[in-house]
Amino acid sequence: MKTPKFIKAHLRETLLVLIDAVIVTVLYSFCYYISRAYTVFDSPIHAYLLHLAVILPVYLVVLLAMGVYRSLWSFAQSREYFICTIASMIAGAVFFLITRIIYHNYPLPLYFYLLTMCTIAIALVSERLVYRLLRDYSISRKCHGHGGKNTRRVLIVGCGDACQLLLNEIKSHPESGMIPVCAVDNDAGKVGKSIGGVNIEGTDADIERLCRKHRVDLIIVAIPSANNKQRANILDKCAATGCAVKLLPRLTDFYSDNSTCIQKLRDITPEELLGREPVTIDNCRLSAFIKGRCVMVTGGGGSIGSELCRQIAAYAPSKLVIVDIYENNAYEVQQELVRKYGKDLDLEVYIGSVRDYDRMLALMKRTKPFLVVHAAAHKHVPLMEVSPAEAVKNNIFGTLNTARAAVKAGVSRFVMISTDKAVNPTNFMGATKRVCELIIEAMNGRGTLFSAVRFGNVLGSNGSVIPLFKKQIEEGGPVTVTHEDIIRYFMTIPEAVALVLAAASMAHGGEIFVLDMGEPVKIIDLARKMISLSGFEVGKDIEIKITGLRPGEKLYEELLMKEDGLAATENGKIHIGRPAKASLDTLMPKLDELHAIACDNDTAPEKIAEMLEEKLCELIPTFHHNRG
């Protein structure tokens, strides 16, 4: 029959008490023998026994009272050893006071008490220290005995508290299959020393050399305090090694749960990969703008729309209204917000299409939003090249319907999410979004303040390149890149959404806000870096396949058109483009013709595409369709 765990724990505690009792008895006898000039039995034997009858219970009671037996000595640190030492000293002092008061007829010299107190304290601490060292040695033997193809030789970057915690856990869990072989730190004062028994052999400049020297399989970046730029610099050096890379989370997330350091190890995030620092937003201004007001988000279940809902909910609106045609996404966002805010958030979720003017008008009249953020759109370039009529109906007329409904329902502000592909468009999706911008400009001044926000690719959104590369790497490749020279601007979903809301708060009507996307990234370099940081070698383990530009795809994206005048704002990451004023009277006849073509289901799709391209070129002279 298996012994229950709680009985085992009590047996271990009882055994430790007995061992301590033996240690106290032996050392007391030794010190008593010395204090009596190396004689015991020449003095009254009952004096020896009387003092023993006091010292044993005093020591055991004090050690118990101070929690010495509650400590897990397998994982003891300096605090546990300090408490054990203090408890021994207190017990010695109590023993001195009691015996001096009640046994004044049998006085012992003062040095006896000092010698007894010191030797017992040293012995009790040493006993536990030896146990810990023997256990660590046993675990180390087991860890090295796990040698095999599942064992990974680890180099750790950063030799601070996080590194120490990680090393302790690796030693305690040989089943993790990790063997720390060396560490690096940029503090020159640490180089040449060791941490947790692991040598600190250099700085991050030595990572590649040390990986070759020690045949490293895995690099762990254990610097929770590092910012994205610092992490990106380290990752650049790690990418040259061909080793897999894991990171410990930031300080803000490090203590957010009770998971172990090993469990906290995670893959690289897109913002760390690109070295982008989070944008700073005036939260007070946003709170004043949103708090206590009703906000509607169309396309609220999408990757951008759902993040809009999360951030808006954090600013305590009087009501958050989510509109989406796809019920599954809408349901997921609804459940997430209900779990987080419960009854503190007045949340309404509606299934509906922006193509349906009457539905949008009815929803706006019912909910009376102060702000409408229009994120509903078809955005995938290759798919819209195949179905251009759907891009026209959803993007152009979905925007027109929503904008007209906003004016009719008395909405104060309306912000549309646009894209860098609307600038000198080469595909149907970009062309339709440019027409949406013209509609927004034309609708402004009719009682509602209309504006648009234009930005580039969003990291981690549905269909973006980084999740695609990650999946291809997991499947063993190849990683597909359309052209060796293709570049793109990138921004994370949270920072893009934060800037959208910031732009909405400073809109006066008619603006196209352009977000600072940072430096453009060469896609093939990004692919190589992701492959290397996953522990694979480009060309050997995983191939990069050049597939050729897809229909409608550009080599270089632009954020601003030549006719746009660019003005600065108080937020350095947001700029204002003020294009020439569009007239709704001029637009509407052409939009009616465009709508008729898009709704024609009898004509051949190829002919429909040609007719749509022709009409879009009339609306947007800068549209030059790239058919691939």
348 contacts 322 by C-beta, under 8 angstroms: yes
DSSP codes joined into one string, 460-486: TSTT-HHHHHHHHHHTT-PEEES-TT-
Cα–Cα distance, 264 to 248 (Å, whole number): 6
Which residue is associated with the tokens 């906000």? 295
Cα–Cα distance, 187 to 92 (Å, whole number): 44
**Single-letter residue type at 55:** I
Residue 546: which H helix or E strand, with range? strand 544-546
Cα–Cα distance, 575 to 591 (Å, whole number): 29
Cα–Cα distance, 138 to 134 (Å, whole number): 6
Q: Identify the CA nearest to 507 among candidates 364, 370, 377.
A: 370
Catalytic pick among 246, 264, 379, 421: 421
Q: In sequence order, what are the residues at sequence separation of 6 or more whose Cβ sits closer than 8 angstroms to the Cβ of residue 220?
A: 154, 155, 156, 157, 166, 245, 246, 247, 248, 265
Cα–Cα distance, 297 to 308 (Å, whole number): 8
Number of neighbours of residue 40 by Cβ within 10 angstroms: 13
According to DSSP, residue 127 is labeled H
Structure tokens that stand for 537 in this block: 């070698």
The C-alpha torsion from 516 through 518 and 521 to 526, rounded to 10°, is -110
Active site residue 607: no
**In sequence order, what are the beta bridge partners of 453?**
417, 513
What ranges in 368-518 are assigned the alpha helix state H?
381-386, 388-391, 397-409, 428-443, 465-474, 493-506
**Single-letter residue type at 602:** D
611 contacts 537 by C-beta, under 8 angstroms: no
**Single-letter residue type at 59:** Y
Q: Which residues are catalytic?
A: 421
